Amino acid sequence: MKTEIYASILQNIANGKKMLAVLIDPDKCTNEHLQTLLPLLKEHTPNFIFVGGSQLKISFSNLIETFKKEINIPVVLFPGDVTQFSPNADALLFISLISGRNAEYLISQHVNAAIPIKKSGLEVIPTGYILIDGAKKSAVEYISNTQPIPRDKNDIALATALAGELLGMKTIYLEAGSGANMPVPLEMIQHVKSQISVPLIVGGGIKNNAQLQAAYHAGADLVVIGNVLETEPEKIEEFLKD
Ligand code: 1GP
């Protein structure tokens, strides 16, 4: 099994470099949006493109090819369910929704996906996905029928992250939900980061550079930005300035 993308994440952390991923929801990525976004991303290139959504209605293999050809940027699948798979990507976050208690998203989808993933040879990054209350009901909460961790329950978030790490997950993802009103609380990021040793991914509701820098400062190694670039793609410049 390949390990290049995960190795690059570890290398960036070892070098003290924070990382940014731009999340593309193929259902929302019209041709027109892509024409605006691609030149901007060529000039201001994040570390990764993540591709995925809660419920995708369209195939996205062509979209992945376009990103790889036009920008030569690693594309990582961030699937909402088992159907969101493409061997054209560079890696796959193999996500288990460990904040929830719904076996479907803890292990069942994974069993259905395991054989095709293994056959594809795609790099797999086992990810403990922890949904935090983002002050707005998220699509993940609704679709998975699970509850997010309350914003003030830092110890529950920490215990969940540690359980994921102890189970062998290679990253922990603190998620406030796409389009969250409030990002993951900084104190919670700090609390979790202080005790885990695997890379920490944070996303959901980050809309400006101050919030991005605050998440980095609190301990996020990799931050995922989605919604804000759908309406204001030019903001990528602000997110990537030092
Ligand atoms: C969602 O964490 C990502 O899964 C990004 O969230 O779309 O709110 O930036 P936003």
The single residue listed with the structure tokens 């609190």 is 218
CB 220 within 8 A of CB 202: yes
Q: What is the pLDDT of residue 3?
A: 95
Q: In 84-170, at which residue ranges do the beta strands (DSSP E only) sit?
A: 91-97, 123-131
Q: Which of 84, 178, 200, 202 has most ligand 1 atoms within 8 Å of CB, for mutation?
A: 178
Q: What is the pLDDT of residue 91?
A: 97
**43-101 tens-digit pLDDT:** 999 999 999 987 766 778 889 999 999 998 999 999 988 788 888 999 999 999 999 99
Q: What is the pLDDT of residue 84?
A: 84
In angstroms, what is the span from residue 42 Cα to ligand 1's centroid? 21
**166-187 tens-digit pLDDT:** 999 999 999 999 999 999 999 9
226 lines ligand 1 (CB under 6 A): yes
Q: What are the φ/ψ torsions at residue 13 (nearest 5 degrees)?
A: -65, -45
23 lines ligand 1 (CB under 6 A): yes
Judge whether residue 242 has pLDDT over 80: no
Q: Which of 140, 144, 175, 189 has most ligand 1 atoms within 8 Å of CB, for mutation?
A: 175
178 lines ligand 1 (CB under 6 A): yes
CB atoms within 10 A of CB 232: 12
Q: What is the pLDDT of residue 75?
A: 96
Which CATH superfamily hosts domain 4-239?
Answer: FMN-linked oxidoreductases (3.20.20.390)
Q: What is the pLDDT of residue 59?
A: 74
What's the mean pLDDT when you consider all of the chain? 95
CB 105 within 8 A of CB 132: no
Q: How far apart are CA 145 and CA 33, in angstroms?
A: 31
In angstroms, what is the span from residue 200 Cα to ligand 1's centroid? 15
175 lines ligand 1 (CB under 6 A): yes
Atom of ligand 1 at shortest range from CA of 134: 8
Q: What is the pLDDT of residue 241?
A: 86
> Quick one: what percent of the chain has pLDDT higher than 90?
87
Task: Quote the radius of gyration of the chain (alpha carbons, Å).
Answer: 16
Contacts of 136 (CB under 8 A, 6+ apart): 177, 179, 180, 181, 182
State the pLDDT confidence band at 110, using cuts at 50, 70 and 90: very high
Q: What is the pLDDT of residue 81?
A: 82
Q: In the chain, at which residue ranges do the beta strands (DSSP E only) sit?
A: 19-24, 48-51, 75-77, 91-97, 123-131, 171-175, 200-203, 222-225
In angstroms, what is the span from residue 114 Cα to ligand 1's centroid? 26
In angstroms, what is the span from residue 183 Cα to ligand 1's centroid? 9
Q: What is the pTM of this model?
A: 0.97
Residue nearest to atom 1 of ligand 1 (CA): 178
227 lines ligand 1 (CB under 6 A): yes
Q: What share of the chain is helix, strand, coil (3-state, %, to 5)?
A: 45, 20, 40
Judge whether residue 107 has pLDDT over 90: yes
In angstroms, what is the span from residue 84 Cα to ligand 1's centroid? 17
Q: What is the pLDDT of residue 209?
A: 97
CB 185 within 8 A of CB 206: no
Q: Which residue, among 106, 59, 64, has the nearest Cα to 84 in the 3D structure?
A: 59
Q: What would the two tokens of residue 4 be?
A: 């290049």
What is the average pLDDT across 208-219?
98
**225-241 tens-digit pLDDT:** 999 999 999 999 999 98
